[in-house]
Structures are given as structure tokens and as C-alpha cells.
Structure 1
Amino acid sequence: MSKLSPEEIEKLKSNLKEKGYKLTPQRRAIVDVIIRNEGNHLTTEELYDLVKKECPEIGLATVYRTVQLLEEIGVICKLDLNDGCGRYELVHEEENHQHHHLVCTICGSVIEVQDDLLEVLEHEVEEKYKFKITNHSVKFFGICERCAQNYNK
């Protein structure tokens, strides 16, 4: 389980303060749950269900507002995995771009691709179109290994 370092907590506090907000216990609980579930691409409702176990008094509206705020200040980003749900994941400062995702069209599992394999293509696009790319998001849809084994039987 990864935890926010003291430096990351201070940065989060200052980002919130700049926007006129504080790192309340409820917001901290939400961030902690997001960190503990990194890679799970939780919806707001799933996040609420997990946070409610630790913070029974928290309301769904608080979770929605906090998720929106965390996205606004760049702590998390929203993913559209074509399943009709907004899903969220942590933004890592060391990443130049969002990482890519493999989405199984049978079971819905999501596999993160950590390597940025599009650097050459990105450079060519920037040169050809005189367009400065600041980020990109790539999703590949197909069948995961487990489903493919069952699919071929």
C-alpha cells in the first residue's frame, strides 16, 4: 500500500489552499482510498462505498465534490473506458503523459501499459502539424489472456 509522502501531503494541502479549500479528514480519507486502490480505476460510487467503511458519516455528495476538486487540481484524472462510467486514477508527477490502457471487451478488466510507446509518433505529429502535444490518452480494446483461453475452448 503506497502512502502519500509528507512532501506530497504538503503539496496537496497547498494546492487545496490555493483554491480556497482545506485538506479535511473526509478529503484525506478519499485520497487515502484512491492511493490504496491504485490501478483499480474506481468510479465515484465505488470510491464512496470504500470510504464509507472508514468514514461512515461521509455523504455521496461530499465524495463527488472531492473527486471533482481533486481532478481540478491535478491529483487524479478521469478515464473513459467506454463502459458508461467515469473512472479515476492518480496522476504521477514523473509521468509526462497518461499511461495507456488495455480494456477487455469480455470481462471488462483493465491492464495498465506503463511504457509510453508513442514518443516517435508524437514527435512526427508535432512536426507535421506544428501542434504542441501536452498529453495523450490511448485505449486498446480486445480480449485479455484469461478470456482468450476460455474464448478458444
Structure 2
Amino acid sequence: MTIDLSNLRQMFREREYKLTPQRQIILQVFIDNRDKHLSAEDVHNIVRQQSNDIGLATVYRTLELLSELDILQKMDFGDGRSRYEMNETSTPHHHHHLICLYCGKVIEFEDDLLDDLENKISKNSNFTIVDHQVKFYGYCGECREKREE
């Protein structure tokens, strides 16, 4: 399901939260940047171009709330800051990520090759698995070429 502002207004109403102008601006950043994994600082830099009265603390609080409400998915790519993206899936397994160690680029991939492994682990350990995350670290094509020069 593709999420837009009307869907988000409805989600906020159903959960009895207000969709303040600041929250709406921050959500619009994610709608406009669906293919990116944004940190609070990234969001703040984008938001400042539209509205100087939204501080970094407001961005942090809003991102945490949106993550708690499952509107955003919070991720840690090992670079010391949380990243967020729009949570547009109703399936328990999300896409996975390739993370370039040189430039920090994050590339998504959808192939979920772990179903058999997950089923085996679940059966052997009597453990119900509800989700997993896969992150591969390496070098993107551009950075690999730079390193080989």
C-alpha cells in the first residue's frame, strides 16, 4: 500500500493523535523521499529549507513517535545514527539492505532467501520468528572501481 497524507491523517485520527503542521511537514519529507533512508539530521536539513521554526529536537521526537506508531521503520546501519523510512508494507518481512562501507550508500533488495532457514530454526528451537533483518556490508560498484584505481 502506498501511503499518502490522507492515509496518514486517518491513521492519526484512529490512534487519537494530532497531525500537527510540524508532523505533516516531516511526513511529507518521507513521502517525497521514499527511496531514501534518512537520519534525523537529514530530515532536519530538508525541513529547514521549508520551515525554519522546526528544531532538531522536534524532528527527533516526531521520528520516535512515527516509529512507535509503525508509520516509519527505524533502522541501524552501524554508522552511529538511526535511519528511518516509510513503513509501507503489511507483511512481516521487510526488504533487506546492502550498505557501502566507503560512501554510505544504502541499496535495498527484496529477495527473501531466508524462508527455509527461518522455518528450520523455528522448528528446531521451538521459537516463533516474526521478523528478521539482513544487512550486507561491502562496496558499491562506484566505490569498488575507485578502490581498484
Tell me, yes or no, if structure 1 residue 137 matches structure 2 residue 138: no
Matches within 5 A, 1:3-152: 4=4, 6-15=6-15, 17=16, 21-152=17-148
What is the distance in 2 between the residues matched to 1:61 and 1:125?
Answer: 41
What is the distance in 2 between the residues matched to 1:135 and 1:105?
Answer: 25
1:114 positional shift:
1.8
For normalisation by structure 1, the TM-score amounts to 0.87
Secondary structure of the structure 2 residue equivalent to 1:39: coil
Quick check: 1:3–1:32 contact (8 Å CA) kept in 2? no
1:60 positional shift:
1.6
Quick check: 1:100–1:113 contact (8 Å CA) kept in 2? yes
* One-letter code aligned to 2:72: I
CA deviation profile, 1:29-63 (whole Å, cap 9, x unmatched): 10110121122211101101111222222122211
1:93 positional shift:
2.7
Quick check: 1:71–1:78 contact (8 Å CA) kept in 2? yes
What is the distance in 2 between the residues matched to 1:12 and 1:97?
Answer: 24
What is the distance in 2 between the residues matched to 1:135 and 1:30?
Answer: 27
* One-letter code aligned to 1:134: V
Tell me, which stretches of 5 or more residues in structure 1 are unaligned? none
What is the root-mean-square deviation of aligned Cα atoms in Å?
A: 1.7
1:106 positional shift:
1.5
Percent sequence identity is: 41
What is the distance in 2 between the residues matched to 1:126 and 1:111?
Answer: 28
**Count, aligned residues:** 148
What is the distance in 2 between the residues matched to 1:139 and 1:14?
Answer: 34
Quick check: 2:66–2:72 contact (8 Å CA) kept in 1? yes
